Amino acid sequence: MYHSRFIGTHFEAGYKWGKNVLDKKGSIAKQHTFKITEERKEFAKKCIPVYKKFYPEILEEIKGIAEGQKILYEDLYTFLLSMYCFEFDNKCTCFAVRKDKKIIFGRNSDFIIELEHLYDSCYYKIKNSYSFIGNTTAFTEIEDGINEYGLSAGLTFVYPKIRKPGLNSGFLIRYILEKCKTVKEAIMKLKKIPIASAQVITLADKAGNMVVVECNPKKIKIIYPEKNKNFVVSTNNFYSLEMKEFRNPKELDDWQSDERYKTVYIALSENENNYSFEFVKDLLSGKYGFICQYNRKKGADTVWSSIYILDENKIYRAEGNPLRKEYKEDKRLKFI
């Protein structure tokens, strides 16, 4: 993984990153995953007013990247704002646990290995925003991270049966990390911002609050830990009664999402007195059942694994499948 730094204004940070990538790796628009269609163009244009109202600074960052890359701003925002709204690519597993004062957030990111060398763990220290560490398979958007106040957030993507102009999964996580200090504050924002895609967002903060938010353009369901349980879990599907109609189509390959959910749910239920860093590592590494044991020959794998120990202000990440890669501490972020 790369370890990019975004510092200054949103535009300055975007321009510097875009130029640096162009000089060292070439144009991002030449990657075959850079998909631009007329349908996506029309959808992205309809999203622009929402971003101008709720998150105008991210448009400035996209403009900066486009200038640094010497590509059209319209093409770049089309690619980014329509992401997660048309295709179903990213897979992942996410959970949070609490034991006394111990609060741990864990997430595996599963994706195609073809682009493994391009994935990034970013350090953001943007003016007028909270600092954070965020990991991504796509620049600018964030898939999991933690900010300087100890609020952690991660997405698990769900098949987009419906879409509507708004913020997509990656920008919702980015917005939360930049703008919110607590789970309560993040929930309030999610209820106000128009949502474009379908996803489950897992949240945890230093006070021990944790939830999963199942949401799409039509509905939002806040799910708290069950009675007498101190954990929440999500994979690439909806599990609440309210969101049942939006579950993945049965014929869809969601990389054994239900099996991953079952693995984590059972392990967390049966080991509530053992919520520790070592236990979370073992769970994410597949020692309690299927979660990351993919066949790389098929072109997919767990491409990183994150552990945030909120009560200790510590960040750990395995840059690759945790079955084979060690977790290393990331000390870039200064916590408040």
Domain count, the chain: 2
**Helix-helix angle 56-69:38-54, to 10 degrees:** 130
Pair 233, 279 in one domain: yes
pLDDT in tens, 100-111: 999 999 999 998
Pair 176, 280 in one domain: yes
Residue 2 has pLDDT above 70, yes or no: yes
Q: What is the CA radius of gyration of the chain?
A: 18
Range of the domain at 65: 5-81
Per-residue model confidence (pLDDT) at position 32: 75
Per-residue model confidence (pLDDT) at position 259: 95
Percentage above 90 pLDDT, the chain: 86
The strands making up 314-318's β-sheet, listed across from edge to edge, are 231-234, 91-99, 102-112, 300-309, 314-318, 328-329
Domain assignment present for 243: yes
Residue type, 63: K
Domain assignment present for 315: yes
Q: Where are the beta strands (DSSP E) in the chain?
A: 5-8, 91-99, 102-112, 120-126, 132-136, 144-147, 152-157, 199-204, 210-215, 220-223, 231-234, 300-309, 314-318, 328-329
Residue 319 belongs to a domain with what CATH number? 3.60.60.10
Q: Please state whether beta strands 231-234 and 144-147 pair in parallel, antiparallel, or not at all (unpaired).
A: unpaired
Pair 95, 64 in one domain: no
Q: What is the pTM of this model?
A: 0.96
Per-residue model confidence (pLDDT) at position 163: 96
CA distance 158 to 169: 10
Residue 214 has pLDDT above 80, yes or no: yes
Domain assignment present for 64: yes
Pair 252, 145 in one domain: yes
Pair 187, 319 in one domain: yes
pLDDT level of residue 333 (50, 70, 90 thresholds):
very high
Task: Please provide the average confidence, as pLDDT, over all residues in the chain.
Answer: 95
